[in-house]
Amino acid sequence: MKYFIPLFLLVNFALIGGCFDSATKSLVSEDIELLVESPPYKVGDDIPALAYMQHDEEYNPESVIPPQCYTKTEGTNNPCYACHQTDKKNKNRPNAMNDGHLQGVYEFSDLGLKNHWKNLFIDRTALIEQISDDQISSWVNQDNYSHFIKKLKANPDWQGEVAEVKNLAYPAQAFDAQGFAKDGSHWVAFNYKPFPSTFWPTNGSTGDVMIRLGDNFRQLEGQYNQDVYIANLSLVEMAVKDLDKITTPDISEQKIGQDLDGDGKLSAVISQITKQANYVGDAKNTQLSYQLYPQDTEFLHTVRYIGVDENGEIYNAPRMKEVRYMKKHAFKSKQLLASSYYSEAKEKHFENLPQTRYLGDEGINNMFGWTINGYIEDSEGDLRPQHKQELAFCNGCHKTVGSTYDQSFSFPRKVEGREGWGYIDLRAMQDVPNKGEQQGEFLTYFERVGGGDEFRQNQEMLMRWFNQDGTVNKQKVRSAKNLYELITPSKARAQQLNKAYLTIVKEQSYLFGRDATLIKAKNVLEVVDESQAPLQEEKRYVWDMQLEWN
């Protein structure tokens, strides 16, 4: 009996907390109908993800445990170190999570012992075969962001943010050479090294990140001043990375009214500043805080399909899988953050399940000073607000993870100083080491993980960068010209990954996992039991996500 993935699941989003209704028009000119021989879920377990949301029934109370945490380490393979860290040497670090002990162990609640990310265990080969290359190319090259922003702005009942950047689907049109949005929205794109390895294009998605500071960080005496803004952006970078000096795009101390390079005079043009006690311009009364962003800092992050042209060149596709937004609505000192971490630890000690504070249209409060919101494709490809169960997933990374800096990943990994202002460019980056290490970060990751992704199932990466005996071909990795060569897929793999993700979109099964896996995962646990050996002590690592750019 044939089974059709339900294209009728254009659910009335009023029922699930969204702002769109079932009359939403498709942006796609050619409908894609997916046909398989049998349902993708087991008999008795075929409830669609949308049904849980429609009826407000919680599917996964432990959605803060990401899929990667169920990876089989087999005692030696360690993808865990990139998230779980304890830095005992740095007593001033605001991140007090200190969860390095979680590397290679499965300390889950009873509910968390079952892996709820069941999309990992579906072979999508038959689904993928139903989608042609022309269909998927047409899909990924359509702009679903501009229409989404237009609808938000036209909705009088919408209470959330409207994170607009004109032409964001086409970055060359949206940003100037220094990363400043051309529309005057004051979003600034920066070039950063993608976090290992979920955000590598070879593992499913492309993406970018923009930052925006509050009004007073962009102004002098109430008027916009780009020199002030550049200086404050650079000072934020210095605060987060604990730098004493940093190169900047050319700015004028005379236009700022302050000596920033420490030479005792106000110069017409400088390209380097030293660390200051306070920010400048109308933010002059705000102190720099060690490894913390100032209040009202915003981040905009798009997760996109993999663009691939006729020659197999990879680029950030116009179509967005997700639009993610964070705003630091409240500044918390190191002491207040310690209290928040303690509260989290106490809740876990008493075996209470994780709680997510939902704010309606505004998203969720992670309880560490940040408001987090996110939008994802509906079954026709239009972006929609994520349901509160889908948003709870965000807390898995942006709440209590030991490796983060002020609950963030990308900005601490920005190319340092002047060279890092501008849209992300994998060809402009090398595989530099992490702080305190000697060899390239991605080479190190390959060695520690035993593969080119957390699940060790990216066969293309294994064939490219590993020897037949499973060891890393160090010489070949070191000879890579840039990051683009290291972490982008072939045209064939890019098309397959895009098709695999599209099947999840058509199912609207994000509650069951968002990873664009092609076949059933073999190196991932479906259920955690006592037979799983912990990671060997010598395979656990102290690691800093920041990079030695020099």
Confidence of residue 41 (pLDDT cuts 50, 70, 90): very low
- Using the predicted structure, report yes or no on whether residue 87 has a pLDDT greater than 50: yes
Question: What is the per-residue pLDDT for 46?
Answer: 79
- The confidence score (pLDDT) of residue 353 equals 78
CA torsion angle for 104, 105, 111, 117 (degrees, to 10)? 10
Check pLDDT > 90 for residue 51.
yes
Q: Is the pLDDT of residue 14 over 80?
A: no
**Residue 5's pLDDT is what?**
38
Element (H, E) at 317: strand 314-328
**How much is the average pLDDT of 438-463?**
97
DSSP labels, 64-94:
TS-GGGGB--TTT---GGGT----SS-TT-S
Whether the Cβ atoms of residue 237 and residue 243 lie closer than 8 Å to each other: yes
Q: Which two tokens stand for residue 209?
A: 């990140």
User: How many CA within 13 A on the CB side of residue 112?
Assistant: 19
Looking at residue 355, its pLDDT comes to 85
Binning pLDDT at 50, 70 and 90, where does residue 427 land? very high
User: CB of 535 within 8 A of CB of 79?
Assistant: no
pLDDT value of position 346: 81
For the whole model, what pTM was predicted? 0.92
Amino acid at 482: N
- Position 532 scores a pLDDT of 85
Please report which confidence band the pLDDT of residue 45 belongs to, taking 50, 70 and 90 as the band edges.
Answer: low
Contacts of 23 (CB under 8 A, 6+ apart): none
Instruction: For residues 426-434, give the mean pLDDT.
Output: 98
Lowest mean pLDDT among 309-323, 360-374, 529-543: 529-543
485/477 Cα distance (integer angstroms) = 9
In the predicted model, what is the mean pLDDT of the chain? 91
Position 451 confidence tier, pLDDT thresholds 50, 70, 90? very high
Burial 183-213 (b: 16+ CB within 10 A, else e): eebbbbbbbbbbbbbbbbbbbbbbbbbbbbb
* pLDDT at residue 118 in the model: 95
Q: Which of 218, 242, 244 is nearest to 229 (CA)?
A: 218
Q: Taking each helix axis as running N to C, give the angle between helix 133-140 and helix 491-507, from 0 to 180 degrees, rounded to the nearest 10.
A: 70
pLDDT of 3 > 80? The answer is no
d(CA 366, CA 324): 14
| pLDDT the model gives residue 42 | 53
pLDDT band, residue 530 (cuts 50/70/90): confident
Q: Contact, 384 vs 18, CB < 8 A?
A: yes
- In whole angstroms, what is the distance from residue 231 CA to residue 227 CA? 6
Q: What is the pLDDT of residues 481-504, one digit of tens each?
A: 999 999 999 999 999 999 999 999
Convert the pLDDT of each residue in 270-303 to its tens digit. Answer: 999 999 999 999 999 999 999 999 999 999 999 9
Looking at residue 352, what DSSP letter applies? P
pLDDT cut 70: percent of the chain above it: 91
Report phi then psi at 40, rounded to 5: -75, -5
Task: Return the percentage of the chain with pLDDT > 90, whole number.
Answer: 87
- Residue 175: strand pairing partners: 181
What six digits make up the tokens of 432? 């530099």
Tell me: pLDDT of 243 over 50: yes
- Output the pLDDT for position 6: 37
